[in-house]
């Protein structure tokens, strides 16, 4: 019985659930107003873009890769849509162009990774700088705004108390969950992360899958960019700075092994909840944004240490 409990506890997901509950309990003690529905609803608008990008990031990290360029891709996409709008192109067309730019950015990363065998960390670090540079150069660092009402409505509309962005995320989450559990692609992704060579030797088109995943990541960044513009009614070259930090933190905290193979979407959702609540509570309670990063970093260290300890217990 004892060992059963222990093996349950050594799953990152259950550990994370406990951690989330403990934290929420503590918050309840310190500042109960924070947990009111109205407050939570208001604050939840901040998380959806991160959450949306965390889905492809989960799949990519499961294959043993990483994509650092999503924040810069976001800004490039926003600038594309914004500039086109300023030059009189209808905004839906601009958004389509932004999506294409996102896809192209992802494809660029994926091409280098699969064809030239560049390590994902290197190539996405390079494009992280390059994409941001292009965005700043094109926009001259000027903010672009003045989007039509119908567009900003997208950022405010909600249904059943959940904003449109939230529904979009839930839809994509369902899709990803199906891919990971119901579709063979999920098996392939895990297999690539565990042993890419053996997967290739089993006749699976590894390169095609990887290329697709990086394209997906670029696409998700472009959608996040559009959501951001609708919410803030502005596009600027410095949006999405550091967003990859939050995304990767959520994924890794959710128990996805950075070496690939191991992890689950459920864990990542818990990770997202945890970092969202931590971040928001820190700014809400102490109203100090600089504490934000500190809290995030400490949380990541804490959860990784716990996982390491339990992981070692499990393997010995």
Partner 1 sequence: MSALQAKQISRSYGGTRALSEVSIELLPGSIHALCGENGAGKSTLIKILSGVETPDSGEVTLNGQPIPLGRVHAVEQIGIVAVHQEPVVFPHLNTVDNLFVGREQSKVGGLWLNKKGMREQACQIMHSLGEAFSLDIPVGQLSLAQRQMVSMGRALLHECRILILDEPTASLSARESRSLFATMDRLQQQGVGILYVSHRLEEVFQLAQQVTILRDGQCAGTQPTSSLSRSELIRMMVGRPVDNPSRQQKKTKSKSDKPILKIRGMRRDPVFQDIHLEVYAGEILGLSGLVGAGRSEIARAIFGLDPVDEGEIWFEGRCLPEGFTIQDTMAMGMAMVPEDRQREGLVLPASVEDNLTLPSLIELSGWMGMHRKPRHEASRSLIEQMGIKTASRASSAQSLSGGNQQKIVLGKWVYRQPRLFILDEPTRGVDVGAKEEVHRMIEQLAAGGSAILLISSDMPEILRLSDRILTLCQGRIKGEIASHEATQEILLQWALPEERDALS
How far apart (Å, rounded) are the C-alpha atoms in residues 209 and 114?
A: 10
Among 85, 190, 231, 276, binds partner 1 (CB under 8 A): 190
Among 115, 119, 205, 314, binds partner 1 (CB under 8 A): 205
Burial grade of 202 (CB within 10 A; 0-12, 13-18, 19 or more)? exposed
- Distance separating alpha carbons of residues 175 and 166, to the nearest angstrom: 14
In the set 111, 154, 167, 261, which binds partner 1 (CB under 8 A)? 261
Q: Within 13 Å of residue 60, how many CA atoms lie on the same side as its CB? A: 31
Polymer length of the chain: 316
Residue whose CB is less far from partner 1, 146 or 182: 182
Helix and strand element counts for the chain (H, E)? 15, 4
SS3 content of the chain, % helix, strand, coil (to 5): 75, 5, 20
116 binds partner 1 (CB under 8 A): no
Answer yes or no whether residue 314 interacts with partner 1 by CB under 8 A: no
Query: Which listed range, 80-88, 130-138, 179-187, 211-219, lies at the site for partner 1 (CB under 8 A)?
Result: 179-187
Q: Which stretch binds partner 1 (CB under 8 A): 36-44, 103-111, 199-207, 292-300?
A: 199-207
Options 114, 158, 195, 283; binder of partner 1; rule CB under 8 A: 195
**How many residues of this chain bind partner 1 (CB under 8 A)?**
21
Shortest distance, CB of residue 314 to partner 1, whole angstroms?
A: 13
String of b and e for 4-34 (b: at least 16 CB within 10 Å)? eeeeeebbbbbbbbebbeebbeebeeeeeeb
Residue 27 structure tokens: 């918050």
User: What does the DSSP 8-state code read for residue 87?
Assistant: T
C-alpha radius of gyration, the chain, whole number: 20
**Residue among 93, 198, 301, 309 that touches partner 1 (CB under 8 A):** 198
Judged by beta carbon, residue 156 or residue 308, the one nearer partner 1 is 308
What x/- string results for residues 134 through 163 when contact with partner 1 is judged by CB under 8 A?
------------------------------
Q: Using the rule CB under 8 A, is 8 a contact of partner 1?
A: no
Residues lying near partner 1 in the complex (CB under 8 A) are found at 178, 182-184, 187-188, 190-191, 194-195, 197-205, 261-262
């Amino acid at each position: 019985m004892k060992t059963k409990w222990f093996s349950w506890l050594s799953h990152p997901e259950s550990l994370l659930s406990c951690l989330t509950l403990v934290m929420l309990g503590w918050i309840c003690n310190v500042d109960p107003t924070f947990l009111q529905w109205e407050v939570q609803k208001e604050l939840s608008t901040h998380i959806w873009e991160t959450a949306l990008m965390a889905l492809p990031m989960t799949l990519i990290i499961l294959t043993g890769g990483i994509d650092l360029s999503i924040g810069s891709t976001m800004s490039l996409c926003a600038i594309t849509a914004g500039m086109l709008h300023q030059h009189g192109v209808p905004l839906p067309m601009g958004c389509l162009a932004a999506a294409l730019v996102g896809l192209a950015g992802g494809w660029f990363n994926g091409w280098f990774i699969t064809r030239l065998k560049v390590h994902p960390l290197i190539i996405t670090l390079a494009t992280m700088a390059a994409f941001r540079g292009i965005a700043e150069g094109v926009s001259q660092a000027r903010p672009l705004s003045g989007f039509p009402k119908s567009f900003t409505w997208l950022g405010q509309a909600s249904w059943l108390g959940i904003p449109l962005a939230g529904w979009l995320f839930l839809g994509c989450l369902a899709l990803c969950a199906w891919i990971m559990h119901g579709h063979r692609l999920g098996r392939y992704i895990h297999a690539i992360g565990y042993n890419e060579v053996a997967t290739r030797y089993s006749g699976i088109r590894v390169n095609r899958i990887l290329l697709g995943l990086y394209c997906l990541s670029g696409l998700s960044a472009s959608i996040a960019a559009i959501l951001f513009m609708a919410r803030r009614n502005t596009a600027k070259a410095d949006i999405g700075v550091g967003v990859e930090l939050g995304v990767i933190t959520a994924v890794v905290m959710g128990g996805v092994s950075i070496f690939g193979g191991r992890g689950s979407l459920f864990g990542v959702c818990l990770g997202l909840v945890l970092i969202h609540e931590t971040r928001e509570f820190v700014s809400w309670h102490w109203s100090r944004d600089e504490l934000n990063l500190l809290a995030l970093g400490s949380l990541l260290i804490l959860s990784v240490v716990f996982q390491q300890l339990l992981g070692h217990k499990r393997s010995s």
